[in-house]
Structure 1
Amino acid sequence: MISVEEQLARVLAGAAELPHETVPVDAAHGRVLAVDLRSAIESPRDANSAMDGYAVRRADVRGASPDAPVALRVVGEVAAGSGHDPVIGPGEAVRIMTGAPVPADADAVVPIERTADADWAADPVRIAEEPAPAAHIRPAGDDLGAGELVLPRGIRLTARALASAVGAGVGELDVVARPRVAIIATGDELAEPGAPLARGQVHDSNSLLVAALAVEQGAVVVHRGRAGDAPGALDAEVRRVLEASVRPDLIVLTGGVSAGAHDPVTRLALEFAKVAMQPGKPQAFGRIDGVPVFGLPGNPVSVAVSFEVFVRPFLAVLQGLDPTRPTERAIADEAWRTPVGRRQYQPIVAQRVDGVLHVRPASDRGSGSHLVGRLARAEGFAVVPAEVAAIRVGDEVEVMLG
């Protein structure tokens, strides 16, 4: 057997970041930013009001107080989005709303609550407070200066990141191309989801599982199909994928990588390995016509673990991301056995108690890799080193969440 690290090194040896493309900002959610994004503008563009009230000249309201309010004639109004810049002369004020550009003649804003009448209809308005210099005025560039770094390259663009990009005056973003993934589930036993099952059949959950996991990692699925165990069936399906108008960046096969007499993946020109891990011991990887091909085991939990350990890092590298998976320490609330000499990836459920992460196995029916019905409960994996024979209650374990 080889180690997980050895197999991962084989997988990542030829992986490289995909080309970049430019997309509208409203089509960039979930994409990976290819270059640093700097602000195209000052934001806000103009000094604007932080309050609803009156734009004033401080010289006109010196000494204003509730006991000695200063009356000013109202000569205009500015709302948010207005391009109007009314002139403010001595003894005058302008009504102003939150977010509205501050008139050039004003050097402070007095909230309406700081007027004697607190009434928009009042004219003259009686200012009952002497404002501080630039009171309630947000200066131009208060949020971002032109050319300021807004987003670093290599981040996945979230809703908040996109809002920042738009606020920086950007309408298009340079992003890494989305990896194109083709998926083929193998086996005569596979039936369409929801179809009645004949004796010996199971529903094909693997192709949907891999497709959804790939999309979660920023990929786009360009093919999802099945191939039976008959000689030539898988070769024909792979050839169909490779000759399609949209060529994939990788192909993921599930099932048929073990030593069974009818395992079809073993007929392909891939490199097969027994990896010291559980589940997911049988693995295959190679290239067909230059396209990377993963051969994952057929049991659903093995598929989920193998995707996490090998396919996800590969997709990360294609998108210019760090393939390393963050982990944290947790306390085991239940005991479980581990396989001798193999690293275990135990599906777990987790909860935090007083800030401490606690975990237990997701399945109450053991750690069988066929237990797809319990897979939905899993919130991550506990990663148990090969030299650990068993996990006891209270042991500290390393976990990958999400």
Structure 2
Amino acid sequence: MKNILNPLLFLFFYQLSYAQDSIPVTFRQETDTLAKQHFIDRYENVFMTKVPTRQMFKATAAGSEIQGSGINFGYEYKLLPSLSVEASVYSQLSPFNTGVASELLHFNWKQVNLWGNAKARWYYNMNKRIEKGLNANNFSGAYIGFTYEQSLYLRNSYSNKNTGRIGLLYGFQSRFFNHGLIDFAVGLYNKEAGQFTVFDQHQGFFRFNNFVLGTQTNIGIALGDWKKSVTSPLCDVIICDELIHDQFKIEMPNIAIGLQHQIARGSFAYERKLGDSPLSLQANLVYSFYNHNQTGFYHDRFTYASAGLEFRYYFLQNYRIRHGKAGGNFSGPYAGLKSNYGMNMYKSGSVFQPEFHRDETFRSLTHALTLGYQQRLFKRIYIDGSISYQKTRNYGFHYSGDSRPVLMSKIAVGFTF
């Protein structure tokens, strides 16, 4: 009996297991519900490094201690991927670096100087960047340049007419956001210009004491032959939702250093949010130095240092946050109220007239209302443009009209930490 039951039990469990394996298996394919991922090259989206460009028209606001302040109109053309040539006309609104907005407010076409300029740029690492796929053939990148400038019209009849000068440049030029343009360069020029033109008189073209090292910044718009490309949403590029509580800011300096004349201007600032509000408090330090030494016979020196506080209200921040276009990152339009306390030190003298020697120190207090726009880029760069209506009161030294309110403008480009 046992011999019969064993085969029957084996067959029973075998059939049971077979029945379990015979359960039908079906396959079904469902559509992937995950959105396609788009990886953003933020650097390329801001500076348009991968958009080919052969020619470019540009109009920029220019400011430097050598060229003064004004508007530059230029045309740049690529001869080779690494070589371009440019022709431009520079309308100098002021020989001093005072800001374009304040000069345009009191614009008088009879007071404008005109300069012609020819320039060649060698983008020395452009070919390597193109080979690595980091760049297209365009005008964005570091360069070494050669420039020649010639006065076309000078309003001051006493100015030296022999104002042609050459220069060797090292700089960086780039488009940003399709039609923006920035060009910052350090140049070695063989003849001083700007506010020093009246001192040149008729010195030789290559006199050693004419050479001057200076910086120049151009910010404006560019139009060219590039195709209008579809760019990523602005907030994805500049990281709108970035939350920052404080930042240090160092402005790129303005300098002009020669054997007879030296100028240096710069500023440092620390900005901090007030809680979670769109308000911030900024402490700033400003330094300015000017020295003129006319062949050892006459000297004129002015030093200025100031410290101040500025309250800023980013008045559209809450609105932009609600619409996903901003964050608490010190970017956007703002209104401000600021005060600066300054120390002014002035020295002058002449070996021929020692009785006219001056050595004076006086203080000043400035109050201003400001309206501006600040933008952070890549966590390390900032651009801050503002217009200020300010009034200054001097203590210990007065001149006619020194307490009259004035309108000033400034565009600062620098680094954040």
TM-score interval, normalised by the smaller of the two chains: under 0.3
